């Protein structure tokens, strides 16, 4: 039986999440970043934070679509990534001193990367999933930290680093999903979408895997302007 022609809305402004979906042959029909307060609640566990924010982002975007009469046959995919050492949640730094603090905490230690996934449709049924990856950094020298902070690559990243960039050279051990650390656990995201009725193979079958990044980038610039 053919799957319904559902349209996918990605509730994110992250180019990395878009690129990962495109890697799997999935092109979102729309990009709608969810600008919400991501402050953890008092004593909130990192796992709970990632799941809560993913769901709140999906619900926020679906409510916007519903208000415009555009929720029918739409699926919203939302994700939130949290990096923690024990139960200490590391921020997404915007200031260099916060980035330095994060790197000092991560140096020579194992940390956990949690991503909450939520797929939500017009029916209101939420498909929630949490993915966990354990990552160990080498012991970072003062020069490592200073040079990485100078690169600016850390800015706005969960935990203050991007594993797909320069910080990949800090990783000595990884257990779990690599794409989770990049920002979107790909296998799990595809499974969630398929379970919600989205035809994940549509562009595989019709040969429509030619990149259509330009249109999405233009739309992303428009909604984030």
Arithmetic mean of pLDDT, 103-127:
95
Arithmetic mean of pLDDT, 104-121:
97
Is the CA virtual torsion 53, 157, 130, 87 positive or negative? Answer: negative
CA–CA separation, 33 and 220 (whole Å): 8
Which band of pLDDT confidence, cut at 50, 70 and 90, is reported for residue 117?
very high
144 is catalytic: no
pLDDT at res. 162 = 96
Judged against a pLDDT cut of 60, whether residue 3 lies above it is answered with no
Arithmetic mean of pLDDT, 104-124:
95
Arithmetic mean of pLDDT, 163-190:
97
* Structural domains of the chain, with CATH: 7-215 (3.90.950.10)
From the list 80, 98, 191, 206, the catalytic residue is 80
Arithmetic mean of pLDDT, 160-170:
97
Prediction pTM value: 0.88
pLDDT at res. 209 = 53
State pLDDT tens for residues 47-100: 999 999 999 999 999 999 999 999 899 999 999 999 999 999 999 999 999 999
Judged against a pLDDT cut of 90, whether residue 208 lies above it is answered with no
pLDDT at res. 173 = 98
Q: Output the CA torsion 209→214→218→221 (10° steps).
A: 90
CA–CA separation, 110 and 138 (whole Å): 9
State pLDDT tens for residues 25-54: 999 999 999 989 999 999 999 999 999 999
Arithmetic mean of pLDDT, 1-18:
83
């Amino acid at each position: 039986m053919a799957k319904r022609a559902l349209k996918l809305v990605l509730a994110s402004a992250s180019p990395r999440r878009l690129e990962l979906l495109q890697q799997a042959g999935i092109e979102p029909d729309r990009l709608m970043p969810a600008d919400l307060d991501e402050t953890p609640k008092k004593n909130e566990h990192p796992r709970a934070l990632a799941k809560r924010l993913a769901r709140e982002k999906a619900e926020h975007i679906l409510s916007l679509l519903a208000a415009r009469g555009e929720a029918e046959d739409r699926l919203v995919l939302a994700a939130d990534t949290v990096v923690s050492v024990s139960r200490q949640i590391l921020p997404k730094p915007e200031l260099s001193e916060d980035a330095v603090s994060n790197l000092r905490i991560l140096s020579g230690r194992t940390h956990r990367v949690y991503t909450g996934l939520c797929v939500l449709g017009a029916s209101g049924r939420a498909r929630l999933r949490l993915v966990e990856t354990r990552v160990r950094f080498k012991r970072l020298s003062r020069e490592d930290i200073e040079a990485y902070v100078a690169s600016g690559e850390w800015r706005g990243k969960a935990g203050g680093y991007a594993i797909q960039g320069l910080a990949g050279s800090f990783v000595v051990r990884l257990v779990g999903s690599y794409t989770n650390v990049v920002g979107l656990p790909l296998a799990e995201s595809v499974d969630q979408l398929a379970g919600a009725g989205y035809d994940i193979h549509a562009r595989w079958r019709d040969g429509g895997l030619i990149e259509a990044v330009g249109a999405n980038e233009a739309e992303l610039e428009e909604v984030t302007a």
